[in-house]
Structure 1
Amino acid sequence: MRLVIAECSVDYVGRLKAHLPRAKRLIMVKADGSVLIHSDGGSYKPLNWMSPPATTRIASPEETGVGEDSVESWIVQHGKSDDKLIIHIHAMHHDSEHELGLDPGLIKDGVEADLQRLLAEQIHRLGDGFSLIRREYPTAIGPVDILARDREGSTVAVELKRRGDIDGVEQLTRYLALLNRDPRLAPVRGVFAAQLIKPQARVLAEDRGIECLSLDYDEMRGVDDSDSRLF
């Protein structure tokens, strides 16, 4: 990866046109050919960029028509279209290259699969006397995250989400409609479990007779000491 900090102005030419006036910015040139222009504010999103496949060549100020005020100009040409990113370098402050090597990728923690595994292992969180029937119980429209029995022997279907919204409640409603057609399981009631349940989803679930359960992922995996909390 090449990292350049420079006074630059940038023009994007192609399906649309965009211009960045002269300012000090970070230019990232990645090994796959992509080029990203960043400022020191805002969010993670670059101000402008060229996606791969792309090639970069150095052009003279005369070729790009910016005059003697430019040290050099980069023309970043997309490999599958006429789109160009033209970067005019007016002053160079830093230029370095770094070999990053292969990236192992993002390993997510606290995804729905982790919540499902933990809740299956700690089925008592649904209530006293609960027992697990199975995880990923199959239906004609997809698997139910957890199927369990309560202390009275009734069937309970659990839908798990990291963030519970209305779509999750609708999904569980469809599962319940199918499961209640099976005489071996009926009657089946539902539990909508999530780390965070949106107020609208909670209202809809309770209106349909579905219980809501908030889950503390850190506490479930044993890394949150509730005794040390101030609140």
Structure 2
Amino acid sequence: MRRRWSYLRISEAAERIAEAVTQRKLIVMLASCTVSYEGRTVSRLGEGERLIIVKPDGCTLVHRPYGSLPVNYQPEGSLVSVKREEGSLVIVSARAKPSEKLVIRVTRVLHLITAEVVDNAEFEVGGSEREIRDAIAEAAELLLGEKLKSVEVEAKLSGAGFADLLMVDEQGNFVVVEVKRDKADVEAVYQLKRYVEHMRGAVGPRVRGILAAPSISRKALTVLAREGLEYRRLNLRRLVKVREGLTRFLVEEGYGGDAGGGGVHGL
């Protein structure tokens, strides 16, 4: 026998969600909706009961009642807006670069939670820096967001030490990559600077430096920018999949690079 829901009025849900978006609260809603997407491709998903999650950073996800992946999503940094339209509640999650828009049209709200949620814990990555380094060498585009060709792993730079990775970008620049398993600090920045300066002395000015870590301290980020070096945040989910040999899965499911966002999954 099909269960019965005590539906929340669309008008009330719209007000609560609009307020939550303004106050940067977490929104969790079980609702009957359609989903459409325009951007890297065009897709539409018909009416169905789904779990909708809007996070304080703009990340928006739509889950079906089965499977672990969202059927559609927009990444953090997306602009979320809410409006009422012809008896429906419309949630739009959009961003300009790349240009893409996710539209969720809700016809019935089965359950709605809005709340301020605090989580400041550090996520500890399983595996050693060597394993992370090898994963980047294998799938730099997925983990660092650009195509890089591996030249040498654990590159010996004379008296400067050993760089985790020496790579080359599509413009022919050498790229020194320093990997940290935990939060990167100022010491890591100066370590990378030492490697980059050595390489520039050996091959000329066309040398970039990338510090890859799950997170970085504010002071380290400031010093990094001052020294003309770069930071890439390691996406832990992608890292685990690469280590498990699932790079094809990541590409097919649209998780490649930092662009994120968009496509319909698991239809």
TM-score, normalised by the number of residues in structure 1: 0.47
Greater strand percent: which structure? Answer: 1
Which structure is higher in RCO with an 8 Å CA cutoff and minimum separation 6? 2
Greater helix percent: which structure? Answer: 2
Work out which of the two has the higher radius of gyration on C-alpha atoms and give 1 or 2: 1
